[in-house]
Amino acid sequence: MQELIESMRDTMREAPGVGLAAPQIGESIQLAVIEDRAEYLADLTAEQLAKAQRTPVPFHVIINPNLTILDDQSVEFFEGCLSVEGFIAAVDRALNVRVECLNERGEEVTIDAHGWYARILQHEIDHLNGTLYIDRMKTRTFSTIENMLLSRK
């Protein structure tokens, strides 16, 4: 299990990505690795970070997660995915969530997450339940990342 976690961490970082679920690499277990490194945020403005409510998230593992949406607040942002490489689309996600799970040592943990971190958790837990962001996206927003970047110029 620890070797799988290390391999998933390395794969996620090499991509680079902020999360990776075991089913994405062919493992049928309820496990995901998550990390939103400070270096990924370095090119974003303070305004962009505040709008996304995004701060660094240290590396951690969630096993057998149970997701609870804490209120009816949601926000729409563009998401990409290592399973659908090169594309992006707007997805509406809950702003505040709680995840009860096990960590990499088999200890019970409860994570209360807000903003972008809540989005990452929802995205990865969706993978564990056989759902991709394209199943939740606003269809008209689906685009290549290249086209999205060109349209912002």
Q: Where in the chain are the domains?
A: 2-151
pLDDT of residue 151: 73
Task: Respond yes or no: is residue 104 known to be catalytic.
Answer: no
Which candidate in 27, 100, 124, 146 is catalytic? Answer: 124
Continuous segment of H or E residues that includes residue 148: helix 145-151
Q: What is the pTM of this model?
A: 0.95
**What does the DSSP assignment read for 77-103?**
EEE--GGGTTEEEEEEEESEEEEEEE-
- For domain 2-151, the CATH superfamily is Peptide deformylase (3.90.45.10)
Count the Cβ atoms, other than its own, within 10 Å of residue 30. 19
State residue 104's pLDDT score.
97
Query: What's residue 153's pLDDT?
Result: 65
Q: Is 11 exposed, middle or buried (0-12, 13-18, 19+ CB in 10 A)?
A: middle
pLDDT-flagged residues of the chain (< 50): none
